Structure 1
């Protein structure tokens, strides 16, 4: 019975992610049309055409969010290939940790922090890339893992509880306001939201990872 319920829950989660993915695909169509608007009067070119300029970048990010109502820090990295200045595709990931007193056990000094990470593929339409200030819409599709880390002050060290962990699917759309600092460096302010499959851990809300995050992104490369 437990396996059947878990299977039904997984199917519902996949349907939810599928609906969100379809909405994002429709949104991508609109954004790509906007990104290509500036060159609509030019001759048709192919991916390998000499008139098309491709590039790439590497980026690091630092973000603030809340997990279960508690402050959390996130740090990420990604690398992407840029097609004709207006669309980027790449791989990346992010790690997170919070200072959550997740639950108490017999009122002793044992506390818990949520920690984990996720990664996957990035798709990123870029609007007005030649302007000094412009916007992009990166979306991450990926997988990740989360666990509780027990901090026993009476031992003054960290203990990993491998009996309280889970894996999840994630989709994270975001909007980034980018500033062209130099020809090879961009600084962006980022605002995003995490959609995940249910988290199944003791004393943990199923949607504990869902929520907004804000941060900064540093990008270096050929844009």
Structure 2
């Protein structure tokens, strides 16, 4: 009799534990709160023209990816070559460009091998004229708002690596620096980059 009661208790306990394990786990932030959140880092180059001078811009950005559709994060871009604007008359000088800010990105049908993505970069930019061989600038600098929407073709190389290529257009805020104005900075750019990430 005692053996039957013991077997019955064991069977009931096992059934209760199994039922408890099959129920979803309760958490403070809700079930599967971060299931659809990933992370991506993008690095590449863009070719642009500033006041008639060719500029190679290094691009880098990093941020969160939601449902493999919406990206939000920050970026830092800078000129990789020393360029001299056509309108500059001061000898033995060159110009630097830097741009930092935030971005949002919408990716269309990311599960397809080839698809489109549309990043929008907004931030503060800086132009600075330097003299060759000098330890510091003597010409000051210009700071202004710069906005660039882009349309990029994205190719899924692997599960975690994507190749991007396309074009963007820069809209520079109103400023004047030496002989350069916003119209001399605004314009198209061609872009190519690699995106590495954990995509949800």
Structure 2 gap ranges (5+): 1-28
Matched, 1:147 2:120: no
Matched, 1:80 2:56: no
- Which is helix-richer, 1 or 2? 1
Query: Following the alignment from structure 2 to structure 1, what is the Cα–Cα distance between the partners of residues 30 and 156?
Result: 26
What aligned pairs does 1:137-216 form with structure 2 within 5 A after superposition?
137-151=118-132, 157-158=133-134, 160-216=136-192
Number of residues of Structure 1 aligned to a counterpart in Structure 2: 168
Matched, 1:55 2:38: yes
* Residues 82-128 of structure 1: per-residue CA shift (max 9 Å, x gap): 101111111112002453255234xxxx2332212111111001001
* Residues 194-220 of structure 1: per-residue CA shift (max 9 Å, x gap): 111123212223422211111211111
**What residue is the counterpart of 2:3 in the other structure?**
none
TM-score of the superposition, structure 2-length normalised?
A: 0.76
Mapped contact 2:38–2:197 kept (Cα < 8 A): yes
Q: Which moved more, 1:92-101 or 1:130-139?
A: 92-101
* Aligned partner of residue 207 in structure 1, secondary structure: helix
Query: Following the alignment from structure 2 to structure 1, what is the Cα–Cα distance between the partners of residues 165 and 56?
Result: 16
Larger-Rg structure? 2
**What residue is the counterpart of 2:108 in the other structure?**
127
Do the aligned partners of residues 53 and 88 (structure 1) sit closer, same or farther apart at CA in structure 2, a change above 3 Å counting? same
**What residue is the counterpart of 1:91 in the other structure?**
74
* Aligned partner of residue 139 in structure 2, secondary structure: strand
Query: Following the alignment from structure 2 to structure 1, what is the Cα–Cα distance between the partners of residues 117 and 96?
Result: 28
What aligned pairs does 1:110-121 form with structure 2 within 5 A after superposition?
110-121=91-102
TM-score of the superposition, structure 1-length normalised?
A: 0.69
Q: Which moved more, 1:139-148 or 1:128-137?
A: 139-148
**What residue is the counterpart of 1:70 in the other structure?**
53
